[in-house]
Amino acid sequence: MSADPSAGRPPGGPPSGISPRQTRRKPAGPRSLWRDGGLLIARIGGIPILLSPSWLLSVVIVVVFAGPVISDVIPGTTGGAAIAISVGLAVLLGLSVLAHELGHCLAARACGIPVLRVRLYLLGGVSELGRSPTGPGQDAAVAAAGPGVSALLAVVAGLMVGSFPSHTIGWLITIQIALANAIVAVFNLLPALPMDGGHVLRATVWWVSGRRRFGTVAGIVGGWLVAAGLVIWAAWLLTHSSSVALLQALIVAATAVFVGFGAYAEGREERLPAWPDDVDIRSLARPVLQLPAETPVVVALQIAEGRPVVLTGRDGIAVGLLDPTAAMGLALQRPQAPAGDAADPVRPEAVVLADDTPSDIVERVRATGSGQFLLVDRAGRPEAVLPAAEVRRVLSVSGDRHRGS
């Protein structure tokens, strides 16, 4: 296994010396909780938890499926009570998915991999990491942690079933939680990318062959096979005339689309051009100028002379990158205003170690929408700013050479 290039970086966050929480942020509007296509509902261990709009459809699906069951198995339950219980069950299932994703996050942090956010969406969730695992051991550990948490929840909920009287709300909910987590654990262990089992398969083939690409191909093939099986299952469900069977067919078909597109995306990522050996990625970076955040914005612009500026607090901690456009506008209105008022936050996903491998940096550029990245040394001291456009330009040229060869 290759050495982890992020060793020494505090798990899930930027290197020491970079503190986004101390950034002077511009006043937040009423939509400040809406970010990256989701609603920020919580932070757990510093990890943003985002709720996608499609998650609400999960609640509708659970109510449609669970409502009639609740009325049948719990005597005396009215329609309104059954709906309320179904909504509560949907929330508990969402928390189960969140626990599954946090299992991935804990394993990633244990491997020194930064965690950017967790996103919950229709009948599932995803943990977005700052970089990919650097070896088959890390890949397998991070992938298996989620199903492991789901399996543990299934066992715990199953053991709790007997503590409730039969045909009561507690009895039904614990059964449903146990079954749901068991299904999530088993389904995610299918040997198909982008499922967790596909990552375990890739890690296994990677470890045996020594080639990550061979493992990815095996996982992609598994993904297409699982997607085809789900399509056949959905077609079989459509042979039934009940409305429940129709809804089940739609869910299975949606899952097939998810798996199929996920496998396609993995294959497309594998075909992307690699970083050329004859280009030093750090040669694209621009040296930075460090100034105190209290520096008058008009003075900061004069000193910078077009160079990137890292603004620091009184303790020397970097608090942001000067936004030239915002700084010029601020200088016209309030020339003596602190330059920190025109700073962009230093986000964890926009910070890379200066000695990270080119593949790690390229992957970060591809995975995030940041326009520039701050390169820091092991102590967290800013060294340079890397424009994402320059990285993409070199990759584009590399891709043209690859297609022309």
Same domain flag for 231 and 312: no
CA pair distance 219, 231, nearest whole angstrom: 18
Question: Is the separation of the CB atoms in 38 and 119 below 8 Å?
Answer: yes
Task: Write phi, then psi, for 291 (nearest 5 degrees).
Answer: -135, 150
Q: Is 128 in the active site? A: no
Residue 127 structural domain: 52-189
Q: Based on the domain organization, do 266 and 324 belong to the same domain? A: no
Q: Where among 271, 293, 324 does a domain terminate?
A: 271
Strand partners, 384: 287, 375
pLDDT number for residue 383: 83
pLDDT band at 272 (very low <50, low <70, confident <90, very high): low
Report the side by side order of strands in the sheet with 124-129.
Answer: 34-35, 38-44, 47-51, 115-121, 124-129
> What pLDDT, on a 0 to 100 scale, did the predictor assign at position 255?
84
272 against 100, higher pLDDT? 100
pLDDT digits (tens, 9 = 90+) for 223-268: 999 999 999 999 998 888 776 677 678 878 888 888 888 888 887 7
Structure tokens at 193: 């990318």
* Same domain for 348 and 331: yes
CB 325: neighbour CB atoms within 10 A? 8
Q: Residues 387, 367: one domain?
A: yes
Q: What is the mean pLDDT of residues 192-220?
A: 90
b/e map 32-64, b = 16+ CB within 10 Å: eeeeeebeeeeeeeebbbbbbeebeebbebbbe
- Same domain flag for 352 and 387: yes
| Pair (225, 266) in one structural domain | yes
Q: Residue 2 domain-assigned?
A: no
Chain segment 95-115, per-residue pLDDT in tens: 999 999 999 999 999 988 888
Both 304 and 376 in one domain: the answer is yes
User: Within its chain, how far is the Cα of 333 from the centroid?
Assistant: 39
Q: What is the pLDDT of residue 18?
A: 36
Residue 8: inside a domain, yes or no?
A: no
* Residue 183 resides in a domain: yes
Beta pairing class for 382-387 and 286-287: antiparallel
Q: How many domains does the chain have?
A: 3
Give me the mean pLDDT over the 270-277 stretch: 68
User: What was the pLDDT predicted at 251?
Assistant: 77
177-194 pLDDT per residue, tens: 898 899 889 989 999 988
Mean pLDDT confidence for 195-222 = 91
Structure tokens belonging to residue 252? 């299975």
Please report the pLDDT score of residue 6 as a whole number: 33
Quote the tokens at residue 309: 């500026």
Which among 133, 166, 189 is the end of a domain? 189
Task: Tally Cβ neighbours within 10 Å of residue 113.
Answer: 24
Assign residue 179 a region: left if phi > 0, alpha if psi is -120 to 50, beta otherwise? Answer: alpha
Cα-Cα-Cα-Cα dihedral sign, residues 142, 143, 144, 149: positive
Instruction: Please indicate, yes or no, if residue 295 is contained in any of the structural domains.
Output: yes
Kindly provide the residue ranges of all beta strands, DSSP E only, lying in 122-241, ordered along the sequence: 124-129
| DSSP per-residue codes, 75-101 | TT--HHHHHHHHHHHHHHHHHHHHHHH
The arithmetic mean of pLDDT across residues 153-175, rounded, is 89
pLDDT in tens, 114-156: 888 899 987 688 898 877 787 899 999 999 999 999 999 999 9
Q: Is residue 223 part of a domain?
A: yes
Q: Please indicate, yes or no, whether residues 127 and 245 belong to a single structural domain of this protein.
A: no
Both 220 and 181 in a single domain?
no
Task: Name every residue whose Cβ is closer than 8 Å to that of residue 261 and which is 6 or more positions away in sequence.
Answer: none
Task: Kindly report, residue by residue over 232-242, the tens digit of the pLDDT.
Answer: 999 998 888 77
At 207 the pLDDT is: 92
Residue 284 DSSP class: G
> For residue 24, is it within any domain?
no
- 30 lies in some domain: no
Share of the chain above pLDDT 90, in %: 28
Is 22 within the bounds of a domain? no
* Residue of 101, 128, 266, 349 marked catalytic: 101
Contact between 377 and 145 under an 8 Å Cβ cutoff? The reply is no
Cβ atoms within 10 Å of 367's Cβ, excluding its own:
16
pLDDT at residue 28 greater than cutoff 60: no
Q: Averaged over 194-210, what is the pLDDT?
A: 92
Indicate whether 339 and 368 sit together in one domain. Answer: yes
CA end-to-end span of the chain: 32
- CA distances (Å), 363 to each of 33, 133, 283, in order? 27, 11, 18
pLDDT, position 244: 65
Examine the domain organization and report whether 218 and 251 are in the same domain. yes
pLDDT tens for each residue of 349-400: 778 777 777 777 777 777 676 778 888 877 777 888 888 888 888 877 765 5
Tell me the residue length of the chain. 405
